[in-house]
Structure 1
Amino acid sequence: MTSKTAGSTPPDHLTPQQAMPKVNTVTAADIAAALKAGVSDFLARPVMSGFLGLFYAVFGLLLVWSLIWFNMIWMIIPAVVGFPLVAPFAAAGLYEMSRRLQTGEQFGWSDILTVMADQRNREMGWMAFVTLFIFWVWMYQVRLWLAIILQDASFSDFDGFLNTVLYTPDGWTFLAIGTGVGAFLSAALFTVTVIAMPLLLDRETNFVSAMLTSIRVVAESPFVMLTWAAIISVTMVVSMVPAFLGLIVTLPILGHTTWHLYQRAVPPEEG
């Protein structure tokens, strides 16, 4: 492993559950090694991993279909762009698969598909709330900027919306502001969840400590971690182009990789 430990030892008055984990400096070599391990995990259980990717892809298709059904055509692009925001939560089963593969534990479909239910007495539910809340903020701010910037625009179908957004000055302003706000929200969500989600599955800790640990990891290696965030974003967007079908492969690989990156970013508990 190429990383090195950073941070001070927790104060003596903290219990093991309250003590903040140490964090490592993450390098490009760590990401490459985690990606290799992620691909290996996918190939070890391709059907189960692919099923979780398929479930996420079907959810995306249903989201788009529901917007069409409710005649909210103008929300399709924001929904699709914001859809990857909930990927960390959706990947919980993939983290559990990687954990069990690494420890040599046997597992079946029920062990993975019920992983979130098994966490009901722990803190994962709060992380789900944080994820969905940021997704809601993303969708709401899109509606806000539509009302402020494109208030005089009229579009009754998807083509009309695209023409307004892509070929008018107001549309360009809307895209610029929306992209900026979206980038900020995506970076914020990535920062607080990239390590927090697998950490909550792996250890007995609270969601605030998990988020703070995730923030510390990103702060310790900002360029490398934000590069990883960019890789995730580009991969997810490209994967959604063919009717979300690319997610069947890419989401599992990204999820497995995130687990191994977490293990390189946060050293094992002592003792």
Structure 2
Amino acid sequence: MSQHFKETPQNAITESGIARVIPCKELDVGDPIKWLSLGLQDFLRTPLISIFYGLIFAAIPWFISYLVALTGWHLVILPSIVCFMLIGPFLAAGLYDVSWELEKGHKPSLRHSVRAIRRNAVNEWGFGILLMVLMIFWLRVASLIHALYPQHQIESLESLLPFLVLGSIVGAVFCVGMFFVTAFTQPILMERKVDLATAVMTSVNAVWVNKVPMFTWAGIIFSMVAIGFVTGFIGFIVLMPILGFASWHGYIDAIETKRERSYV
């Protein structure tokens, strides 16, 4: 499959064994560490803009937790997550714009990064809605598993084990599926005037072709998000911008372009 991409014209929309996609490159297993390093460099070069976006990413889960503690109404989590899924792609687009501006030798600005959100707004909203639908489906499946499990059997860890195993397997399947869909879709939509289906299937294809480095990258993302939660979301102020910048560099490495970029 990788050989097929090397033989096709760069940036041509081609027919692959999976779907209609933009050709991808082969990644090395160590590339995710390089992306993380480049993301950190971008953060250090634009600390004020980075912290602005980081504060938003940290404020959202903190606000959700605050609402739950204030009202005691856990159902507030669902509409809050839905809202986050709708605005998350736009926040990420702002971070990608900062890295893109740095690579082009421009001076990034908060205003320019916010305006970048409008570059492909229709498909950006479509992506947000897609994430929202997937998340709602995930939550409903989790609720169904919980509802079907006999409450009277919860007496020990041993009795809980089948429930925990089933829930973990289902959760892992959803996580893997979400990673395939989201890995490169957002930066593709921001940089290129393509439709949502093309961006999603390009992302799926690129992850499939580069399974080892991409799942290494997924492990890094999981670890950094876990650190953010352990630190009471404060870690998100720094970690989320770095992840956003690093994701842009991953996109640059992974997806073919029509002509060679004049920057690294």
TM category (shorter chain) comes to 0.7 to 0.9
Amino acid at match of 1:129: I
* Residue 246 of structure 1: how far off its partner (Å): 0.6
Map of 2:187 onto structure 1: 198
Matches for 1:118-157 after TM superposition, within 5 Å: 118-120=119-121, 122-149=122-149, 151-152=151-152
Cα 1:178/1:204, change in 2 over 3 Å: same
Map of 2:59 onto structure 1: 58
Aligned length: 248
Partner Cα separation in structure 1 for residue 93 and residue 63 of structure 2: 21
Q: Does 1:241 align with 2:242?
A: no
Map of 1:21 onto structure 2: 22
* Residue 241 of structure 1: how far off its partner (Å): 1.1
Is the CA contact (8 Å cut-off) linking 2:120 and 2:193 kept in structure 1? no
Partner Cα separation in structure 2 for residue 214 and residue 14 of structure 1: 13
* Structure 1 unpaired stretches of 5+: 154-163
* Residue 4 of structure 1: how far off its partner (Å): 8.9
Amino acid at match of 2:8: T
Amino acid at match of 2:246: T
Cα 1:269/1:53, change in 2 over 3 Å: same
Is the CA contact (8 Å cut-off) linking 2:185 and 2:202 kept in structure 1? yes
Cα 1:173/1:72, change in 2 over 3 Å: farther
Partner Cα separation in structure 2 for residue 56 and residue 138 of structure 1: 22
Amino acid at match of 1:191: F
Partner Cα separation in structure 2 for residue 51 and residue 98 of structure 1: 15
Amino acid at match of 2:125: G
Amino acid at match of 1:196: T
Match of 1:268 among 238, 247, 257: 257
Is the CA contact (8 Å cut-off) linking 1:38 and 1:256 kept in structure 2? yes
Amino acid at match of 1:135: M
Q: Residues 72-120 of structure 1, C-alpha deviation per residue, up to 9 Å, x if partnerless?
A: 45997xx99xx99x96664221111111111123342222234334432
Match of 1:230 among 216, 219, 222: 219
Moved more, 23-32 or 93-102: 23-32
Partner Cα separation in structure 2 for residue 217 and residue 112 of structure 1: 26
Q: Residues 193-251 of structure 1, C-alpha deviation per residue, up to 9 Å, x if partnerless?
A: 11111111111111111111111111111111111111101210121112111111111
Cα 1:75/1:5, change in 2 over 3 Å: farther
Partner Cα separation in structure 2 for residue 243 and residue 209 of structure 1: 37
Is the CA contact (8 Å cut-off) linking 2:55 and 2:236 kept in structure 1? yes
Partner Cα separation in structure 2 for residue 119 and residue 229 of structure 1: 26
Q: Does 1:97 align with 2:104?
A: no
* Structure 2 unpaired stretches of 5+: 15-19
Moved more, 244-253 or 89-98: 89-98
Matches for 1:78-97 after TM superposition, within 5 Å: 90-97=91-98
Is the CA contact (8 Å cut-off) linking 2:187 and 2:251 kept in structure 1? yes
Amino acid at match of 1:138: W
Cα 1:14/1:135, change in 2 over 3 Å: closer
Partner Cα separation in structure 2 for residue 23 and residue 200 of structure 1: 15
C-alpha root-mean-square deviation of aligned residues, in Å?
3.3
Is the CA contact (8 Å cut-off) linking 2:67 and 2:76 kept in structure 1? no
Is the CA contact (8 Å cut-off) linking 1:150 and 1:170 kept in structure 2? no
Q: Does 1:176 align with 2:162?
A: no
Partner Cα separation in structure 1 for residue 204 and residue 94 of structure 2: 23
* Residue 9 of structure 1: how far off its partner (Å): 2.3
Is the CA contact (8 Å cut-off) linking 1:4 and 1:24 kept in structure 2? no
Is the CA contact (8 Å cut-off) linking 1:88 and 1:255 kept in structure 2? no
Cα 1:171/1:111, change in 2 over 3 Å: farther
